Homo-oligomer: A and B are copies of this chain.
Amino acid sequence: MSNYAIQLKYDGTAYHGFQRQLNAVTIQGLLEAAISTLTGADTAVIGCGRTDSGVHALDYTANFRSDTLSVPPDRLPLALNALLPADVVVFAAREVPLDFHAVFSCVSKEYTYKILNTQHADPFLVNRVWHIPRTLNIGAMRDAAAEFTGTHDFAALRCVGTDVKTTVRTVYTFDISENNGIIECKVSADGFLYKMARSFIGTIYYAGIGKISPGDIASILQSRKRSLAGPTAPPQGLYLTGTSYQIADVS
């Protein structure tokens, strides 16, 4: 038995998220169909996380185990891309140790959220940004983001939906940059609770429009109440932009 890791990009607009579902087209479903064609056997794919419907990825890691793969790993991207739709592209593949697991071996993930802060929308960014025409205070957004860095109980910044042992996570970096009307919010952490990234953005947005002040974030975290934080930002601005692994260098 061998274990393979692949890295992919996808435009999530057309899909019901990563995770396989009955009666819905998902990235996992597409990957499993394509990979099973190349292995000649039903092959399960393990993804590094469950991105929601409409969320994108620029660097998503998945793995699968097989002893019947019909192409060498370096030819796997081209072989899979020939079987996948144009909005899902595998750009790297390699054999990894048998104990590599896309979820459990992952030591950190990075998400980037894109806000288009211009008066008019951009026809080329439909389904790819959150368009906010009103003025945003980027300094306040940056100060709010900084309040999330470090190790905290993030119960107030997640939606209930998955069982987790603890709601404590460590946010390593949270940077806000602006270029040509596009505000990029880049956050890396050892893990993300359900809808945590989008709850971060909704709360930072509240700071940007003056509805909360960055100084309020500590008490929002302490409250552990979802209702005190900002809204869940829409999915189309969110991109999984990186994963880090300790036991196998795949990214």
Contacts and interface: CB of A to CB of B under 8 A. Distances in A.
A121 B81 contact: yes
Interface string A79-120: 001000011111100000000000000000000000000011
A123 B10 contact: yes
Nearest to A10: B123
A123 B87 contact: yes
A198 interface: no
Contacts of A88: 123
A9 B124 contact: yes
A91 B77 contact: no
B126 A86 contact: yes
Contact of A77 (B11, B78, B120): B120
A120 B78 CA distance: 8
A126 B90 contact: no
B126 A87 contact: yes
A74 to B, nearest CB: 11
A186 interface: no
A16 interface: no
Nearest to A12: B123
Contact of A120 (B56, B89, B119, B123): B89
A9 B122 contact: yes
Nearest to A86: B126
Interface in A112-165: 119-124, 126, 128
A78 B91 CA distance: 40
A11 B123 contact: yes
Given A9-B123, A78-B119, A89-B120, 9 more contacts: A9-B124, A10-B123, A81-B120, A86-B123, A87-B123, A87-B126, A89-B121, A90-B120, A124-B128
